[in-house]
Amino acid sequence: MNLDQLVATAKAMVAPGKGILAADESTATIRSRFDAIGVESTPDTRRDYRELLFRSEEAMRNHISGVILYDETIRQFARDGTRLVDVIKSHSALAGIKVDLGPREMPFFPGERVTEGLDGLRDRLRDYYVHGARFAKWRAVIDIDARRPSAGSVKANAHALARYAALCQEENIVPIVEPEVLMDLDHDIKRCYEVTEYVLKMTFSALYEMRVQLEGIVLKPNMVIAGRKAKVRSSVEEVAEKTIQCLKNTVPSTVTGIAFLSGGQSDIDATAHLNAMNALHALPWNLTFSFGRALQAAPQTTWAGKDENIPAAQAAFYKRARMNGLASLGQWSPELEA
């Protein structure tokens, strides 16, 4: 392990004014999104869509520090024969890779899941490094309601995240550690805070036990926010305050940076929450974004599978990348959206 290399990569991933594009949708996930815009999901259409994002010069060079790829994408070539990884690198951005195999139901834990993919991971990481990956992502999903999560499911996911992180660092790949407390149901912000705090404490305990170097990771947590079906919505300021309080209580200052997931928030909500955190607080970590839908929804709809729409789709991507880049500096305002 080369710790200096890991730290340099982690710092680049959370560089001021930049964030991470999550373009690692599985084949099944991107098929459902293409279905919504009337586009057949094939290797070529998936390639064409992602290529239009990666060739968005202004967005990529000025506001994107890295791109999380899917296994198919890291091996693909652009229409002109250039490796997609090299297209990303041409903008001084880093290539990353999703390495988990998704969540599976836990035996004896109804309604709870643990992410799989540790078997053979060392060899896969070595292969991905050769293909250009310098960081990786592993997502743990934490289901939340009045009785969930259980201690058993949280510990199982924290342990898997820590083992994954150690394997990544062994291969000089920065691990994105992503314990996501889902926002799908009707829990209030207080319940989200309680669960997020517990999950983060257990995750960092597991990282410590696995001897993971915290300055060589990037944390990708959820924001502390009420569930999508909650009757009472929280203000932007409350989400920012509670998220920062939770992070201060759980995340060691040695962690280089935090790149939030959007978790199904609207484009504007995710940007506003990130901005409020950066505008109101001096923090020991750089706070930025690692968004998928909150960066891609607008360009995907605009593109609709048609080459003639590529310039407009790239403009839509640039706008969202720029808005979130400003939010990572605490310089965004709703007026800029117009």
What positions carry a catalytic annotation? 178, 220
Query: Which run of H or of E encompasses 21?
Result: strand 19-23
* Length reported for the chain: 338
H or E stretch including 161?
Answer: helix 151-170
Give the span between the Cα atoms of 263 and 277, in whole angstroms: 17
Residue 145 C-alpha from the chain's centroid: 23
10 Å Cβ neighbour count for 123? 10
Task: Tell me how far apart the alpha carbons of residues 135 and 94 are, in angstroms, rounded to a whole number.
Answer: 8
The two counts, helices (H) then strands (E), for the chain are: 13, 10
Contact 276, 247 (CB under 8 A): no
DSSP string, 95-130: EEEE----EEEPTTSTT-EEE---TTHHHHHHHHHH
Q: Is 321 helix (H, G, I), strand (E, B) or coil?
A: helix
Are 177 and 133 in contact by the 8 Å Cβ rule? The answer is no
Q: How is residue 29 written in tokens? A: 């996930």
Round to whole Å and give the CA distance between 7 and 197: 25
d(CA 148, CA 186): 13
How is residue 338 written in tokens?
A: 């117009």
